[in-house]
Structure 1
Amino acid sequence: MAPSPDEQDDFLLACRYGDLDDVKLFIEQHGGSAAESVRDDNGNTVLHMIAANGHEDVLSYLLPLLPNAPALLASQNNAQSTPLHWAAVNAHLPIVKTLVEFPGGPGVDLIDIKNAAGRSPLAEAELAGWDEGAQWFVQMMKLDDTVKEGEADAEDAPLEPGQEVEIEIQDADGKLAKMTLGGSPENT
């Protein structure tokens, strides 16, 4: 039997407040598939609620019981934020790690999803001033590594005298800053 709207609301609240007993009761009565379909008026899933509030025990219990957990991990609410965005905004490192490292899930690709404001979970961590989380995201990200084994990497080679290299750095707001490295000593 499908859960009533009241049962769904109660389940969302149990996830939000970390009431593991009520979460278990809902799963026993309705199963993981029913849990996946529960959303609030803003499109937040149960994973959004758990991630925002840092309930590790609830996440550890519930995540393996969700038949479509990989899809739910990447689920976006009305503001296009994922549960990982919410965990990043609220500085919940154990939750962040669990979401990204979930076996069979999207993995580090979750870090690249942007919300309606154009921010990734990494950008949200930076904006919140959460250095530990931002550093973890950067360590986990897939960086473009196109150099084949045995080939020299031009980026690792020292600059020749007079050689200039222009680099661009993107900040958390998506703004680009350009910088020139090298050149002749009188230009530095």
Structure 2
Amino acid sequence: MPFKKLHSDIQEKLGHLEITIPTPLQSTSIPVIKSGANVFCMAPKSSGKTTTLILTTLQKLKCEAVGNAPRAVVLVENKEKAIELYDTFLTYTKHNSLRVYVGYEELHIDVQKSEIFMGVDILISTPKTMNKLFLLNGVSTSQLKIFSIDDADFLAQASVYNALISITQSIKKCQFVLYSEKMTPKLERFESYFMEHSKIIAI
């Protein structure tokens, strides 16, 4: 049972939320993601992809704040998705020290730079905003451990795709996990860029 092997804080939170049985995706993907491999997680809607993303991120960061630079980055399609994911993360981080920050195009980039500089563990952003932060030296990737993309189907847009390639070229060593409903030729192409030696989990 994947939940049994997660950090005790996560198990306690899952108990409060009355989540006791992992979905087939969670049973299959959590051990692989915990192993540190780059992973493509393919599964239909409502199969537990976002919860898997949150649980494995918390596990990777051991449920505690460390330093000032982000150790986890999560990319999403737009402001609405960013805020929704931020709120869901807060459900899980309410009783630990992890600092979650959300950024998006509509929020002035200088505001984001100064707030990130104050210290964050998990940074949720859109590809364009994240790329802008990189170009302006607004975020350090020196401590990055895990980089996830939620509902990655939106990466089919050329401008977003190019922003992601630009971002990942700046990251030296990190685990990448990409969640999507299905594999597409465009997603497959990432194997040549940052998803080297990746494993594919399809439910």
Same fold (TM over 0.5): no
In terms of fraction of residues, the more helix-rich structure is 1
In terms of fraction of residues, the more strand-rich structure is 2
